[in-house]
Structure 1
């Protein structure tokens, strides 16, 4: 896999912290009169950051728009969910269990699978629990694309410290 992070300019490595960023402006512009428009045109760090900014802003509909109709999603050791509706339910339930989250992306790699690109994203994820306690955990996400949408999304991490 190719490490994309090292080949991109500093401008692309902007922080996704609190406040308005160029990424959050793009996320807000994704919504059209017809619904949410997928932004995957080609693989690059900006499009990856847009997906994670959508997650960090806890925008369920915008996040689900990145998936194919028959996509699958798995978070840690939970059961895999299938299809946009099940993904929507799972993400909604998860977002309701926390106050907030933020991904600090530390590495991005690109590969291939029979249906298209595979993107692996390493991050340190800051979670704000319901009681206000902040927990930072490492995570790796693998996104298998079919065309310009996510067909298979897997998050590899131990989320249990957020709920203990």
Structure 2
């Protein structure tokens, strides 16, 4: 079986059947895996004057949501590979963009993580939570939240690449034929 390239699309076989390249969805899966890894890492550091420095994991707060959104995006990119329908990659862009936005919100507002530290780590809420956050010596975003935001954003962008390379959202009926159907046609 020979493989030819025509207008950025991959063509296989003598019949000239065009199939979308699996490369964009594979890149989407890898980016989703990066977002999952970032969700599990440290999202912020806080400096408590009484107990010293502490780390806030993504799993202590909003990383739980970005984790599931990234897993969903990865599964949808996998569906694009299995079904050879680029539309699934476009659908994958929605949870990936949601994870990117949620992580970016935490990355650019580390006080959210400081509040999670007060609420989850110290068991304080309400006015007591405000008091704890006000006496912290400092807080900052950590690499995990930035990795999550960047990887999820790239995962969403792979949808554009997938559609551009495939030439559309849904391949033609002729493009959907399996190798057995192609052999039967000949």
TM (norm. structure 2) is 0.22
Question: Between Structure 1 and Structure 2, which shows a larger proportion of strand residues?
Answer: 1
Q: Which has the larger radius of gyration?
A: 2
TM (norm. structure 1) is 0.24
Q: Which has the higher contact order (CA 8 A, sep 6+)?
A: 2
Question: Between Structure 1 and Structure 2, which shows a larger proportion of helix residues?
Answer: 2
